[in-house]
Amino acid sequence: MRRRGVLHVDMDAFFVAVEQRERPELRGRRVIVGFPAERSVVLSASYEARAFGVSSAMPMAIALRRCPDAIVVEPRHHLYYEVSRQLMRLFADFTDLVEPLSVDEAFLDVSGAVRRLGAAPEQIAAQIKARIRSELGITASVGVASTKFVAKIASTRSKPDGLLVIRPEDTVPFLHSLPVGALWGIGGKTREVLGRLGIHTVGDLAQTPDSTLRRALGATGLQAKRLSWGIDERAVTPTREEKSIGAEETFAVDVSDDAALHAELLRLAHRVAGRLRGQGLAAGTVALKLRYTDFSTLARSHTLTVPTDGAQHLYSAGRQLLAALGPRPQAVRLLGLRGERLSRSAGAPRQLSLDRTEDNWRTAEEALDRVSERFGSGMVQPARLLGEPRPGLQRDGRTPRE
């Protein structure tokens, strides 16, 4: 591990933890981050709520049936991304080799830091955990190993607020004791296939002949066997960029009215544009997603002449895509908007225009970013959305049943 020490740092219930930091009265409570509409999904849940079977990506209606007294907090993505930026800067104090996987987790190769600081990888991991707690006011779980794959498993096994070290000589015994689903690429259906072959643990898979795995799973089976012996030669790669940034909304009541869809599209455009600007990115392509009552889904995209981080440009492109679909055969259950083909916005070309409204819109949106950063999202919004009830919601933003 002194030759190659890999850490996987994973924040504990990140969105909830940030909200509890901002609102100490939520600590120790059953908290769900997400929108209260029945058709929305759980974005994050406190461990107190998870004890009732609530999990991320679960439909909100199911989550509230399992934990009816949970406190539902609407997400503040701008705040989570700011804390994420602080987190990545903290990691950079220890090593340049940081590979973010999402806003709340990353791989770190601390091999150089081991030599520079004269500390073992687990000591560096403990220092990182302590700084996250003291400087950011939240907690993290850390896995330490000689490979990325084993480090990620270790962090998962140490949650919450834990630190698990898997030394090279302990790697194979540790892996072979785990259920086969712990391996990357082994999902529910693959577990069923392996179960019919009598393969239930990683150790079982490790002892299975290559020919059997190849017949059952193809190349995936052979890759899984390599992982079962702890073989993972992938390096920590610090130049990982986001491929797209988007937002979507599942309506509480299916929507067929054009005005309601356009209003929601505008809200989504502002959410996406704010996230783009927050990360210094611009979108070269705008994609629209539409899901109908029968769950059939359509996706359309449009490539822009010049990349943008402006809500008005995203909204305009989204409306064009929506109109191009023609008459809708059914009411709409879900609407989504996404910016793709991302590039750095600093120094990027901008669409030239003699119309001053272009600059006026950008100035207004940047002002909106500053207001949202200081006071929270939703404090200021486009005038055309004021007093406009969202589909299936009352004007105060609560579902009719509330």
Single-letter amino acid, residue 391: P
Residue 19 designated active-site: no
Contacts of residue 369, defined as CB under 8 A and 6 or more positions apart, other chains included, come to 78, 274, 277, 278
- Of 71, 66, 143, which Cα lies nearest the Cα of 107? 143
Residue 119's CB is within 10 A of a number of other CB atoms, namely: 17
Strands (E), 120-207: 140-145, 163-165
In sequence order, what are the beta bridge partners of 292? Answer: 332
Catalytic pick among 22, 74, 99, 105: 105
Single-letter amino acid, residue 123: Q
Residue 314's CB is within 10 A of a number of other CB atoms, namely: 26
Residue 77's CB is within 10 A of a number of other CB atoms, namely: 17
Is 96 flagged in the annotation as binding? no
Strand order in the sheet with 44-45: 44-45, 31-33, 71-73
d(CA 46, CA 27): 9
Query: Does residue 307 have a cis peptide bond before it, meaning omega lies within 30 degrees of 0?
Result: no
Single-letter amino acid, residue 3: R
Helices and strands counted in the chain (H then E): 15, 12
Long-range CB contacts (within 8 A, 24+) of 199-205: 201/176, 201/177, 202/175, 202/176, 202/177, 202/178, 202/228, 203/175, 203/176, 203/177, 203/228, 204/180, 205/180
Is 10 flagged in the annotation as binding? yes
Q: Active-site residues: which are they?
A: 105
Please state the residue numbers annotated as binding site for Mg(2+).
Answer: 10, 104
Please state the residue numbers annotated as binding site.
Answer: 10, 104
